[in-house]
């Protein structure tokens, strides 16, 4: 019951963000500032606190690395097959990438930090790191391929290299691996900032949505949702069972890969010829649907 109430509270915050946007309280400028606070402050603080006191060998394994890649590429292949016959390339490209591109940063790590222990959070932070290095290039490549648009590889590499969350992960891993002491006052301050990560992220996600109900394609959105919040977690469960990873790694991997579609896919769609309204709707629907799927997974994982 506690887990269900927590997930419903998260859904409530998401809807609050959408409502504040609708009534004009969270306009574009305020949403941008909230997003910056989450992206540059709260999320990096959370990732650093989760990793600064652990050696990388204690949280990352070859099985984890291989498993995440297999699940991402496997789900992308399933999505390509499911959506291959859509006549609109703009909609087809979005449907494919939103079926596997998970919200592992804004929702994944904060949700795990609020639900599981520190080691699971540390593993989730590592998944965020190398998972992003797979998801982002794959998403850009698919959008470019299907829509015939172009992007500068150098810009995408620079965006990844300067990502504050990934930088915080790298710094935390280096400090943890070399046993560099961190003053307690700093940790307490970062802990306080880290606690803001999930509520800020949910408000930003809700305020970023641009829904156009008359333009809804129930079958297309339903297909994306089923692949993302049902097929992908099942595949993750099977892959990591076969890899025989430890329970903390299993929990972190399955929950992270069960996250709803990332809001960043909406941004990528706008930049690279995708259907933006379709993308926005899918983010909303997969996020709402994930409340039920995550409840089931968390209950099964204890």
Q: What is the pLDDT of residues 104-147, one digit of tens each?
A: 988 889 889 888 989 999 999 999 988 988 998 899 899 988 98
* DSSP state string for 115-136: HS-HHHHHHHHHHHHHHHHHHH
Residue with the bigger pLDDT between 108 and 231: it is: 231
DSSP tag of 102: B
| Separation between Cα atoms, residue 117 and residue 269, nearest integer Å | 35
261: helix, coil or strand?
strand
Q: Which of 239, 265, 254, 241 is nearest to 290 (CA)?
A: 254
CATH class of 2-210+217-301: mainly alpha
Q: Which residues contact 35 (CB under 8 A, 6 or more apart)?
A: 204, 208
User: Rounded to two decimals, what is the model's pTM?
Assistant: 0.87
Position 263 pLDDT exceeds 70: yes
Lowest mean pLDDT among 47-56, 101-110, 156-165, 282-291: 156-165
pLDDT of 211 higher than 70 = no
Confidence (pLDDT) at 212: 58
| Domains in the chain: boundaries | 2-210+217-301
Residue 1 neighbours by CB under 8 Å, 6+ apart = none
Average pLDDT score, the chain: 87
Can you give the pLDDT at residue 153? 65
Question: What is the structure's pLDDT at 10?
Answer: 77
Spatial separation of the C-alpha atoms in residues 268 and 276, rounded to whole Å: 9
Distance CA 191, CA 187 (A): 6
* 3-state secondary structure (DSSP) of residue 210: coil
Q: Given pLDDT bands bounded at 50, 70 and 90, which one contains residue 38?
A: confident
The Cα–Cα gap between 238 and 185 comes to 42
Give yes or no for residue 251 having a pLDDT over 90.
Answer: yes
* CA–CA separation, 44 and 295 (whole Å): 26
How do residues 217-229 score in pLDDT, each as one tens digit? 788 999 999 999 9
3-state secondary structure of 180: coil
Instruction: Determine the pLDDT at residue 123.
Output: 95
Across the range 87-112, mean pLDDT stands at 91
Whether residue 214 is predicted with pLDDT greater than 60 in this model: the reply is no
Per-residue pLDDT, averaged over 268-276, amounts to 85
- Cα–Cα dist 56/154, whole Å: 28
């Amino acid at each position: 019951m506690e887990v269900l109430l927590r997930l419903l509270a998260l859904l409530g915050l998401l809807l609050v963000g959408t409502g504040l946007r609708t009534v004009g309280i969270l306009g574009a400028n305020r949403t941008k500032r909230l997003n910056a606070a989450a992206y540059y402050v709260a999320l990096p603080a959370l990732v650093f606190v989760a990793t600064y006191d652990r050696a990388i060998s204690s949280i990352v394994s070859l099985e984890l690395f291989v498993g995440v890649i297999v699940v991402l590429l496997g789900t992308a292949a399933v999505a390509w097959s499911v959506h291959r016959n859509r006549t609109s390339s703009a909609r087809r490209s979005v449907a494919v990438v939103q079926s596997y591109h998970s919200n592992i940063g804004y929702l994944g790590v904060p949700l795990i930090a609020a639900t599981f222990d520190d080691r699971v959070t540390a593993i989730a932070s590592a998944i965020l790191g190398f998972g992003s290095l797979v998801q982002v290039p794959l998403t850009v490549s698919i959008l470019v391929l299907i829509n015939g648009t172009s992007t500068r590889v150098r810009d995408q590499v620079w965006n990844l290299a300067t990502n504050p969350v990934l930088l915080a992960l790298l710094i935390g891993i280096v400090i943890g691996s070399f046993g560099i002491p961190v003053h307690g006052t700093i940790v307490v301050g970062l802990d306080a900032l880290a606690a803001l990560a999930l509520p800020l992220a949910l408000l930003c996600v809700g305020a970023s949505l641009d829904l156009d109900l008359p333009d809804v394609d129930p079958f297309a959105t339903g297909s994306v949702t089923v692949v993302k919040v049902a097929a992908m977690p099942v595949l993750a469960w099977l892959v990591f069972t076969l890899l025989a990873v430890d329970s903390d790694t299993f929990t972190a991997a399955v929950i992270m890969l069960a996250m709803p579609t990332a809001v960043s896919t909406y941004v990528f769609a706008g930049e690279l010829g995708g259907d933006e309204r379709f993308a926005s709707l899918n983010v909303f629907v997969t996020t709402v649907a994930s409340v039920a799927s995550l409840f089931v997974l968390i209950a099964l994982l204890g």
